[in-house]
Amino acid sequence: MQTIDLEAQGLRALNATLQAQKDASNQTAWEIVNARGSHAIAVGLDAPIEVTVNGSTGYYCAGMNKQATVHVKGSAGPGLAENMMSGTVIVEGDASQYAGATGRGGLLVIKGNASSRCGISMKGIDIVVHGNIGHMSAFMAQSGNLVVCGDAGDALGDSLYEARLFVRGSVKSLGADCEEKEMRPEHLEILTDLLERSGSDAKPEEFRRYGSARQLYNFDVDNAAAY
């Protein structure tokens, strides 16, 4: 285990060190101490390494992640794991707004609550939130899966494309063109796998599925007068 003291070594040195790890690196386990809510911790990683952040992080933790596993022991500030390509990001506490935004792949697990705009414009990432999510989550989400073991806030899945949304608790309101959909066996299979991989003991059959009603895909000539 390599330990980096963020306060002593500074953010640029921390990220440069982690970004320099290659596929064949022998140094696969890293621990970051004195995170103290700093911004942009462990961003742009591209190697199968495991990074543990002891404490809470500020803006943009684990952004643009590829291959790496980043484990935050505290809570994360806004913009967690933005545009993730692959790998895993796990947060033990809560995550602030727009967690997992624009993510293209990989798995993001938030063991507490996520606030507003979780998974906004997601493009293939899988996000599992053990608690609740805030308003406008999965806005314009294109593909991937968002699993919420608690409740969802207002306007879930507004202007949704083809992402799958699974919510166990209540949904305060659905956004434009988002509707409840039938839970078929293939969806239960996806859900079972994601719950298992994210360490949740929630039962797949307790969830409801939401998706796009596909009414906003094409221009409807009857609406011409509105423009």
Partner 1 sequence: MCGIVGLFLKDKSLEPELGRLLTDMLVTMTDRGPDSAGIAIYGSEDDAQTKLTVQSDDADADFATLGDDLGRVIDAPVTLRRKDTHAVLSLSADKAGQARQALRELRPGVRVMSLGETMEIYKEVGLPKDVAARFDVSGMQGSHGIGHTRMATESAVTTMGAHPFSTGSDQCLVHNGSLSNHNSWRRKLTREGVHVETMNDTEVGAAYLTWKMQNGSSLGEALESSLEDLDGFFTFVVGTKDGFGVVRDPIACKPAVMAETDQYVAFGSEYRALVNLPGIDAARVWEPEPATVYFWNH
Q: Interface residues with partner 1 (CB under 8 A)?
A: 36-38, 56-59, 75, 77-78, 93-94, 96-97, 115-116, 134-135
Residues forming beta bridges with residue 46, ordered by sequence position: 66
Any alpha helices (H) in the chain, and if so which ranges?
Answer: 6-9, 11-19, 185-197
Residues forming beta bridges with residue 53, ordered by sequence position: 32, 72
As measured in angstroms, the least distance from the Cβ of 64 to partner 1 is 21
As measured in angstroms, the least distance from the Cβ of 23 to partner 1 is 33
Instruction: Please tell me the number of Cα atoms within 13 Å of 157 on its side-chain side.
Output: 32
Pairing of β 143-148 and β 164-167: parallel
Q: In terms of CB distance, is 53 or 194 closer to partner 1?
A: 53
As measured in angstroms, the least distance from the Cβ of 49 to partner 1 is 25
**Under a CB-based contact definition with an 8 Å cutoff, are residues 181 and 130 in contact?**
no
**Under a CB-based contact definition with an 8 Å cutoff, are residues 157 and 137 in contact?**
yes
As measured in angstroms, the least distance from the Cβ of 36 to partner 1 is 4
Q: In terms of CB distance, is 135 or 209 closer to partner 1?
A: 135
As measured in angstroms, the least distance from the Cβ of 70 to partner 1 is 17
Q: In terms of CB distance, is 57 or 145 closer to partner 1?
A: 57
Q: In terms of CB distance, is 134 or 157 closer to partner 1?
A: 134
Q: In terms of CB distance, is 34 or 192 closer to partner 1?
A: 34
As measured in angstroms, the least distance from the Cβ of 119 to partner 1 is 16
Q: In terms of CB distance, is 36 or 214 closer to partner 1?
A: 36
| Backbone angle region of 157, left / alpha / beta, with phi > 0 → left and psi within -120 to 50 → alpha | left
Any alpha helices (H) in 20-163, and if so which ranges?
Answer: none
**Under a CB-based contact definition with an 8 Å cutoff, are residues 94 and 74 in contact?**
no
Residue type (1 letter), 125: I
| Backbone angle region of 11, left / alpha / beta, with phi > 0 → left and psi within -120 to 50 → alpha | alpha
Mapped onto helix, strand or coil, the DSSP state of residue 16 is helix
